Amino acid sequence: MTRSNIGFIGLGLMGQGMAANILKKGWPLFVMAHRNRAPVEALVAEGAKEAKSPREMAEHCDIIVLCVTGSPEVLSVMGGPDGIASAGRPVTIIDCSTSDPSVTTKLAADVAESGLTLIDAPLSRTPADAAAGTLDVMVGGAENDVQRIWPVLECFAGRIIHTGPTGSGHTMKLLNNFVSMGYAALYSEALMLGRKAGLTPEVFDSVIRGGRMDCPFYQTFFRWVLERDPNAHKFAIRNAFKDMSYLAGYANAAGIANPIGAAVRNSFAQAVGAGRGEDYVPMLSDFIAKSNGLE
């Protein structure tokens, strides 16, 4: 079977492992550098080819996977004289970023006029899962388009859920992150309240772990709290704040009251405002503790 060339833009914490798995599964791969050349050089050493711009990548690839920060970055690589759209080819774009659903649906309609297909396929789980090929993927797009790119998703996914039309994947991702970042804010505040009452994190954990409130997210969060493992959950606080801001925008546009979402967003907004945006999400517990006079 002849396999299409696959392009990959966004070789960050998640993207490097995803791209490596596409290459390992036998797909011809084109990659592009941004600030850090190390992932590109590692993939080229394994057989990938390097493109110098999104346009050059689109000239060689039928499918391009994006794993960038959010909607502004997606728009940047799509448009302009060196963007994907400027190549004038019928490329399928798989946006694995956590993007604003309203931007995604408008962009999909706009690029369709040029023969491009945009599918949203945001991710859940961690960089370790990206490297292992066991990510959860939420896919928004027409049935025939989703089935066509399904084998590419299988390279890095352990579970794939077709959520509905274009934009529904990004909407579901915001809801997923609302729940997970809500947990992070709850854990952080509960730990602080416990410490004020003389309860140690170890006591807190001995009650929660193994009980009904335990879950994999709790376990990675507490690998930082108890073991100080900086790699427990490599997702930046600034990105959590960005995602909760997208959720707030969605709620406002829909005229929906989202008071818990506002509270979760504010927990991360305070940390970002205090210069802690590059910290990882479990480190929010340290910020909440310090803000209340605790080490």
CA 185 centroid distance within chain: 19
Q: What is the mean pLDDT of the chain?
A: 95
Domain presence at residue 194: yes
Q: Are residues 159 and 185 in the same domain?
A: no
Q: How confident is the model over 257-284, as a mean pLDDT?
A: 97
pLDDT, tens only, 155-173:
999 999 999 999 999 999 9
- pLDDT for the residue numbered 34: 80
Same domain flag for 157 and 185: no
N residues, the chain = 295
Q: Is 49 an annotated catalytic residue?
A: no
- My answer on whether 175 and 263 are in the same domain is yes
Among 117, 143, 165, give the residue marking a domain's end. 165
**Which has more pLDDT, 114 or 55?**
55
Structural domain harbouring 184? 171-291
pLDDT score of 36 more than 90: no
Left, alpha or beta for 125 (phi > 0: left; psi -120 to 50: alpha)?
Answer: left
Q: Is 1 among the domain residues?
A: no
- What is the CATH classification number for the domain harbouring 208? 1.10.1040.10
Domain shared by 249 and 213, yes or no: yes
Distances (CA, A) of 46 to 21, 22, 37, 42, 49: 11, 11, 14, 7, 9
User: Reduced to 3 states, what is the DSSP secondary structure of residue 234?
Assistant: coil
Q: Mean pLDDT across the stretch 264-293?
A: 98
Supply the Cα-derived Rg of the chain in whole angstroms.
Answer: 20
Q: How many CB atoms lie within 10 A of CB 1?
A: 4
The residue annotated as part of the active site, out of 24, 25, 106, 173, is 173
218: confidence class by pLDDT, cuts 50, 70, 90: very high
Q: State whether 193 and 277 are in the same domain.
A: yes
Question: With pLDDT > 70 as the criterion, what percentage of the chain qualifies?
Answer: 99
Higher pLDDT, 3 or 199: 199
pLDDT at 206 over 60: yes
**Domain C-terminal end among 147, 165, 183:** 165
Q: What is the total count of domains within the chain? A: 2
Per-residue pLDDT, 1: 43
Residues 156 and 179 in one domain: no
Q: For residue 225, which of 292, 294, 284 has the smallest C-alpha distance?
A: 284
Say if residue 10 is in the same domain as residue 141: yes
What percent of the chain stands above pLDDT 90? 94
How would residue 35 be classed by pLDDT, with cut points 50, 70 and 90? confident
Asked if residue 208 has pLDDT above 90, the reply is yes
User: Using CA atoms, how far apart are residues 138 and 103, in angstroms rounded to an integer?
Assistant: 17
Q: What average pLDDT does the segment 9-13 reach?
A: 94
Residues 122 and 254 in one domain: no
Name the maximum alpha-carbon separation found in the chain.
64
Domain boundary among 165, 187, 204: 165
Verify that 130 and 189 share a domain, yes or no: no
CA angle 226, 193, 290 (to 5 degrees): 70
**Is residue 112 in some structural domain?**
yes
- Does residue 142 share a domain with residue 24? yes
The answer to the question of residue 276 being in a domain is yes
**Together in a domain, 155 and 59:** yes
Nearest to 54 by CA among 27, 80, 18, 20: 80
The torsion angles phi and psi of 138, rounded to 5 degrees, stand at -110, 115
Tell me what pLDDT residue 2 has. 61
Tell me if 124 is assigned to some domain.
Answer: yes
Task: Please give the average per-residue pLDDT across 256-275, as a whole number.
Answer: 97
Given a cut of 90, is residue 33 above it in pLDDT? no
The CATH number covering residue 82 comes to 3.40.50.720
Question: Residue 180: which pLDDT band, with cuts at 50, 70 and 90?
Answer: very high
Contact 14, 67 (CB under 8 A): yes
Tell me, yes or no, whether 16 and 159 share the same domain: yes
Q: What is the pLDDT of residues 67-81, one digit of tens each?
A: 999 999 999 999 999
> Residue 101's closest CA among 181, 166, 162, 10?
166
β strands within the chain, DSSP E: 6-9, 29-32, 49-50, 63-66, 92-95, 117-120, 123-124, 135-140, 157-164
